Amino acid sequence: MIIAVSGKGGTGKTVVASLLVRSLAERDTYDILAIDSDPDSNLPEALGVEVERTIGEIREELLEKRDSLPPGVSWRSRLEYEAMRALVETEGFDLLSMGRPEGPGCYCAANHVLREIIDTLAKNYDYVIIDTEAGLEHLSRRTTQNVDTMLVVTDTSKRGITTAARIRELAEELQVKFRDIYLVINRATEDTEQKLQEYAREIGLEVIGIVPEDENVRRYDYEGRPLIELPADTPAFSAVREIAEKIAR
C-alpha cells in the first residue's frame, strides 16, 4: 500500500508523514519504506535518520559519468545498484531520500528510470509512505501516479484548503487515480475545527483526521529533535495514530 502525504508548504506534511511511519512501525508486523521526495528535505531529520547520499546526487553523478562506465555495465543497472546503496535501513523502517531537483538539461529519461526502480523497490514493502514536495508539482510530473491513498494536509488557512482542492482537481484533470483521497487538518483548535470541516465539505474532500495544535511538536521542531521521539500520549501523535488505524489494512 502506497500512501502519499501532500499539501501546501508549511502545513505540516512532514509531521504527519513521520508520525504515520512511526504509527505503522510500532505494530512491528510490517515492512515499511519511507520516501522523502521533497527537495526541501525534512523527513530524515523528523525520523532521526542521517542520510549520506540522495537519489538526486546519484543521478547527477551518473549522468556525468554516463559515457565512461566500464564495458558491460549499463547506466540503468548502475543507477539501480546505487539507489539500493542509498537506502538507509533502521530497525523499524527503511528510508530513501530523493534530494534536490534537477539541474539544467533534460532529465526526463533519467527520472522515468528512477520511477521504475522505485516502483520495483516498493514492491518489497507492505507500506510505502511518501512525503511529497509541496504544492502540485508531484502531480504534474506524475511522481505520485501509483499511489493508493493520498493524504492532503492543510493547516487552518484558507490557502491551505484551496491547495487541497486544487490537488484533487489537478489529479482528476491528469487522470491520476487514487483509490482514496482524504483531507488531514493540522494544527486545529476548537475555534477553527468546525469552520474547517465546513470548508472540507464545500470542496468535497472527506476529513480522515484532525491533528490538534500541539506544543510538543513546536518545541521539538525548535530544539531540532526528531518528531518520531515525541511522547506516545502527545495529542499530535495520538491523532495520527488514529489516521493510521483507519487506512491500514
pLDDT of residue 107: 47
**pLDDT confidence of 137, banded at 50, 70, 90?**
low
Which domains occur in the chain, in start order? 2-247 (3.40.50.300)
Helix residue ranges, H only, the chain: 13-25, 43-47, 55-64, 75-86, 108-122, 137-140, 158-173, 190-203, 215-223, 235-247
Cα–Cα–Cα angle for 225, 84, 78, rounded to 5 degrees: 135
pLDDT digits (tens, 9 = 90+) for 85-114: 889 999 999 999 887 655 554 445 556 666
Q: Is the dihedral of CA 162, 188, 199, 23 positive or negative?
A: positive
Highest mean pLDDT pick, 40-44, 56-60, 121-125, 221-225: 221-225
Q: Is the pTM of this model over 0.95?
A: no
pLDDT digits (tens, 9 = 90+) for 176-225: 677 888 999 999 888 888 888 888 888 888 899 999 999 999 999 999 99
